[in-house]
Structure 1
Amino acid sequence: MTLSKRLFLMILLLANLGGCKETDKPAETGNPETSGDSTQKEAEAGTVELTEAQYQTAGIKLGSIESRTLSNLIRVNGILNAPPQQQVSVATHYGGILATANHLAGTSVRKGQVLAVLENPEFIRLQQEYLETESQLTFQQQEYDRQRELSRENVGALKTFQQATAQLGLLKARAEGLRQQLALLGIPMARLRAGTISRTVEIRSPIDGTITESNVNRGHYVNANDVLFELVGTSGLLAELTVFEGDIAKVQIGQRVRISIVGETRERMGRIKLINRQTATDRTVKVYASLDGSGLSRPGTFLKAAIETTASPESALPEGAIVQAGNQSQVFVFDQKVTHDGATHYRFRPVPVRAGIVENGYRAVTLPADFKPDWKIVIAGAYDLLSVMNNVEEEE
């Protein structure tokens, strides 16, 4: 209702001061139109009357109480968080000098993408030692086969065969150990067996994600196990919700969650995935919810969420039907249509209610015990009726 329409409604009210009066006896809702004599009596106590013009100007619409299944919502705050498998510290098992380091914090990287290149003579030594061990292993395998045949024919000494066996096992162990060390460095074994020795090692990204911290610069020497990059994967983010201790008993795994993330215009849905069993010192519990769909948000982004707990049918009305008079919530019920001096008037009376949860424009209400299901309720224009009632009370 615009300000001009409200002013017009007030002017009409002042022009029809006799239209809003009080009496001592309430009338039944839905009574037939009264006679001219009866309309000359004072209006019922606590009611408000509108003329036909006021009724049309206020845009009064009538409706009935509805039964709707509304979810009880627990409203909480939280942040986006990445699961442990999506938070990675990239380090090297061997020290070296950074030959290449081009990526800064904020760079998006793909799994397997080269992040940096290290140089170290130790890399050359390991590859050389592996190739030499492989060569010795080939010779020792042949020697073992020869000594085994001689031993079977009782030609060679048993001790010589035993020494060949021990030497073969020793070389196999050494070769496997070097192979695993080279695997840690990411040295391609096929290329190495072809005789190509590399003096550099490439540090690759283990996940798809974003670099959140870069501790490198070209020419810098890094020690073994130094963290070069911090990565965070942007897939599989979880909503980390902070739920008060008093509400945690209502939260269950699998419940739906409505999530509003800072920076995103649309609401996203999710489901409760994990509930922490430990209560923090501030009497809150961490609850984790998965997110449906994808977005551009980053870990650490603030969010607000509403957890849908058990839903049940309740009496409900559009939010605009419920007005606040002081500390009391109330609705206006159509009482009857009366005639004063040949003019039609519409009479309404307030009924106190207890307002409940809100969902999709409807609010749950607890009605008084004497409320009748066939009563017509003002679902549009209720605030205008409240304004008229307050104005009449002030004038009186």
Structure 2
Amino acid sequence: MRARNGLKAAGLVAASALLIVVLTAAGLLAFIFYNMSAGRDWTAPSEKVSAALIWSGNGYTFTGEELLGEQRWAMLIGLDGQVVWSLRKPADVPEAYSLTDVASFTRWYLNDYPVQCRVRDDGLLVIGSPKGSVWKHDMSMGMDVLLQIPLWFAFLFFLAIGCVLGLAFLFLRKWFRQAQQVRDTARSNWVNGVSHDIRTPLSMVMGYANQLEEDPALPPARREQAAIIRRQSQTIRDLVNDLNLTMRLDYEMQPLRRARLRPAALVRQAAADLINGGLEDRYSLEVDVPPEAEEVTLLADEGLLKRALMNLMNNGVRHNPDGCAITVRLALQGAECALEVDSAGGPGAPETPPTAPPSVLNEDGSAPHGTGLKLVEQIARAHGGRFEIVQNGAHFRGRILLPAGQAQI
């Protein structure tokens, strides 16, 4: 709902900005056209004023005073340069003009009076306005430049639209990021809170279950039930820890403490931790490190890679309650370094390639094999590698592949 409202707001902002640009451009063009020299108040009356000035044989008759209004004045300069007729001509306007004077004031001003001129058969009609009332400037432009004006206008128009939309996009992206950050923070706080609330009673359950398991006064069946409670509580604890780490990797809140390490030693240490954690007799564990991989080093987060190996080994234990053979293997595959964990199958077990692209995530982002394997894939991606699954019946193999840039012999 919030995303939909955000998109509506973005559309409204963009539409409003576009409408503002269009109206501003149209209003500017209308204002310029209305007030330019081709407007209704300046050039258009000159033809009517000239038509209203008629030679009657004995003198000139003028019937167009309403066209001039109260502030304008007019005069007619004869072919000899003398003023032969005038109406309200200012006193500082001369009575005679040379060819140079006429050429000057027809383009600019006559004694600071803005004027317009119209050629007649009997001379030159000059219509003047008060000083400072009209801005007059002679302009010239090449036709090639004039023809480019629509293109420049279109360019500036779309540039303005792009700028407005770009600003709207930046503001909306910032708003969406802030909203996403608020949601991520709330989700993180909720997960952390729930995890803390689960760990406290879970520790008590595990402590009491361990005491009951080791109590010699209880019959073996009861002690076995207590052991089951302890193991399942440990599973819940591991799931809570995986949930926290998965969330931190999802939102890039987990820093990678990269250091140069030997994966051969890491594989042996992870296997030893699994055994020391109480691996039951019905599970066999083997470590396979070829001689050529003993000196390989990786630049990686030791704690996260060890966590990924532990999750793969515990996955084999969890899904094979009747026991299985677990093999932890370090291998070099071309330019990649592979950390593999097999369950229910050893090195010689047949390998069937997956029928779909190897990914532990469903289309909706969930993990079909549980949170533990999703965490393994996230750790592999965080190191620039990938995680593959190969499964053939009871044989399950999880493979972490690290890129060649992180492998060094």
Q: TM-score band, normalised by the shorter chain? A: under 0.3
Higher relative CO (Cα under 8 Å, sequence separation at least 6) belongs to 1
The structure in which a higher percent of residues are helix is 2
What is the TM-score of this pair, normalised by structure 1? 0.22
